[in-house]
Amino acid sequence: MKDFILFSGSSNISLAQTVAKTLGIPLGGVDLARFADGEIRPWIQEDVRDKTVFVLQSFSYDMDDHIMELCLMGDAIRRSAPKTMIAVIPYMGYARQDKQHRSGEPVSARVIAKFLEVSKFSEVITVDLHNDAIVGFFQVPVTHLSALPVLAGEIKKLNLKNMLVVSPDVGGVKRARNLAYQLDVAMVVMEKKRYIDRHDKSENYQIIGDVSGKDAIVIDDVISTGGTIATSAKALKDAGAVSVTVGATHPVLAGNAVEKLSTSPIDHLIITDTIAVPKEKQLKNLHVTSVAPLISDAIATIIR
Ligand code: R5P
């Protein structure tokens, strides 16, 4: 086995600790101090020379800080001659900006890939990118993990009798089809309208398929403002679904998402811990399942 160290940035220390425990190591020592003006000043406190070094950091709130922290940690580590350095990014923010939605906008996901390369990360491990094609934005190898089996395992435990998988938008059909396959049930699609000039605003305006009498399982990659999920749940119940379960990998829960979700007719909300959900955002019907085993296995494969 290769000599390795796992560091954690500040965004999801509990997930990093679980991964470290599964791998049977302590987390590497790093001081994530700041200057008075807010500049991040990471200080690596381990000998990384000739070692395989992993740095786990999700891009959650405050996203830009987390990105900068990871890049600066990368720069600090590579200056001490590690053998190789791998970024473990359970949630890669900016992934939804994977194309120019209108002329004059950036392709932000590509910029993030560039930042990581400039910081000398030679590999990336990540979970459920918004779009599989983002892997192609990286010049370095990417291990793209899927949390769908983990979510499917939790959904099965609910013992729902008449399940039907629902994609809340056309872009999520592949994901929904994969889940439907894993649960061995059928799927339907909803059509979502986005407003290019109104940030984070969407509407579901058509269900393509019959959901009446069904236990609807809505699957999505990200819950950001909660708009997609809340409007889907309402439309499904209005169309006769007997229950609505939501499975989503990344609980961004931005703005007033928690208020929105707590008043929407969702029976079960299953998320993963790619992003740490603070106590005040933990809804009553929330089940959190961990991606730590997935990430630990991916690390174990690289170090063996
Ligand atoms: C969009 O294509 C994504 O898959 C999610 O449906 C979307 O990002 C969720 O955002 P919100 O919670 O703000 O509706």
Please state, rounded to an integer, the average pLDDT across all residues of the chain: 95
Average pLDDT of the segment spanning 227-246: 96
Q: Closest ligand 1 atom to the C-alpha of 228? A: 14
Q: 266-299: per-residue pLDDT in tens?
A: 999 999 999 999 999 998 889 999 999 999 999 9
Mutation pick for ligand 1 pocket among 222, 234, 249, 281 (CB with most ligand atoms within 8 Å): 222
pLDDT at 194 > cutoff 90: no
What is the edge-to-edge ordering of all strands in the sheet holding 84-89? 4-8, 52-56, 84-89, 123-127, 142-145
202 vs 228: CA distance, rounded Å: 7
91: three-class secondary structure by DSSP: coil
Q: What angle do CA 197, 67, 3 make, to 5 degrees?
A: 150
- Residue 139 has what pLDDT? 96
Within 10 angstroms of residue 60's Cβ, the number of other Cβ atoms is 23
Whole-model pTM? 0.95
Per-residue DSSP letter, 2: -
Q: 93-107: per-residue pLDDT in tens?
A: 999 999 999 999 999
Q: Is residue 93 classed exposed, middle or buried when 0-12, 13-18 and 19+ CB atoms within 10 A define those classes? A: buried
224 CA to centre of ligand 1 in angstroms? 6
- The tokens for 11 are 């965004």
**Is 192 annotated in the active site?**
yes
Q: What angle do CA 231, 278, 30 make, to 5 degrees?
A: 135
Q: What angle do CA 171, 252, 276 make, to 5 degrees?
A: 135
Q: 14-69: per-residue pLDDT in tens?
A: 999 999 999 999 999 999 999 999 999 999 999 999 999 999 999 999 999 999 99
Catalytic residue among 192, 193, 201, 281: 192
- The tokens for 123 are 């590999």
226 vs 200: CA distance, rounded Å: 9
Q: 266-275: per-residue pLDDT in tens?
A: 999 999 999 9
Q: Is residue 64 classed exposed, middle or buried when 0-12, 13-18 and 19+ CB atoms within 10 A define those classes? A: exposed
